[in-house]
Amino acid sequence: MAIPVLMVLHYVYLELFRRPHMRVSVLYPWAKTGCGIMGIVRHIPFALRIFALVMIVLAIARPRSSQQMEKIDTEGIDIVFAMDVSTSMLARDLTPDRISASKDIAIEFIAQRPSDRMGIVVFAGESFTQCPLTTDRATLINMMKEVQTDIIEDGTAIGNGLATAVARMKDSDAKSRVVILLTDGVNNRGEISPQMAAEIAKTYGIRVYTIGVGKEGMAPYPVMTPWGVDVQNVKVEIDEKLLTEIAEGTGGRYFRATDNTKLASIYSEINKMEKARTTVDSFPVYKELFTRYALAALLALLLELVLNWFVIRRLP
């Protein structure tokens, strides 16, 4: 829209304000002369200026080419986080609470393993996939940040959570596949028992690392009262026997995280797991194209200056 407007303004400017004129004694020498080639050439600088403007706009838009795909041979594994999002994860024995600490430390773990495919499954009274297996770290981290309580029916369906995580990578061709299952409670919901889910994981050769989150004994928990939110101590119940059986039965390990430091050290220990060679598809290799448009704009402006200085001369 701007270009046609500029063209009209240019025409009006030339016709009304820039008509060349000079005083002569007779008009005979110019009586039969037409516009001539210079009458056309005089518009070229304006055309070059418009062309340069278009190129500058395109350069600012930062065009990129993504036709190339890159395959990377890496030492990576497939990892799915199965995270408990029941309301008990709001307990404040970790800082600022269990679920926030679990997310923050998981994000640090994700950043340390750039070559692995990772996904996220959340569970409470039921389970669903928050993020499928991906190598896109930015998306994965954003999806991890969005994990919260009260998004699904409350409860603790450990079996459903583990089964959903296994389903995310049962068809994966990775040589090493791992589920990191984090919970702070006792299984009390779900159509699939934790033992059955563990057997399914074992069948597919998937190791399960289980993490019980919460201090021993009592933990501060925010409770809504008629006078606002009140923090009260509640009993911590974690089925460590079940989590140990799941881990040992699938070739993994059970950990107990009683504070942020312990949880971070657990993820650090898991980070030292053996790695398997695998080839993964990376995201498109982007090639920046703005330089060609910027160069075209520069050349157009230089050519305009040359024409104005040396070709198209105006009498005073």
Domain ranges of the chain: 2-17+33-66+286-311, 71-281
> What values do phi and psi take at 93, rounded to 5?
-80, -15
The pLDDT score that the predictor gives to residue 153 is: 92
Backbone angles phi, psi at 117, to 5 degrees: -85, 135
Which neighbouring-strand residues pair with 220?
233
| Predicted local confidence at residue 251, as pLDDT | 94
Instruction: Give the pLDDT score at 67.
Output: 60
Q: What is the pLDDT of residue 291?
A: 86
Helix, strand or coil, per DSSP, at residue 156: coil
pLDDT value of residue 7: 58
Provide the CATH topology of domain 71-281: Rossmann fold (3.40.50)
185-215, pLDDT tens digit by residue?
899 999 999 999 999 999 999 999 999 999 9
What's the confidence (pLDDT) of residue 227? 81
Phi, psi of 89 (to 5 degrees): -75, 0
Give pLDDT < 70 ranges for the chain: 1-43, 66-76, 273-286, 312-316
Give the strand pairing for 127-134 and 228-235.
unpaired
pLDDT (0 to 100) of residue 39: 59
**Per the omega criterion (within 30 degrees of 0), is the bond before 96 cis?**
yes
The answer to whether 168 and 132 have CB atoms below 8 angstroms apart is yes
Q: Which helix (H) or strand (E) holds 194?
A: helix 194-203
Q: Is the pTM of this model over 0.75?
A: no
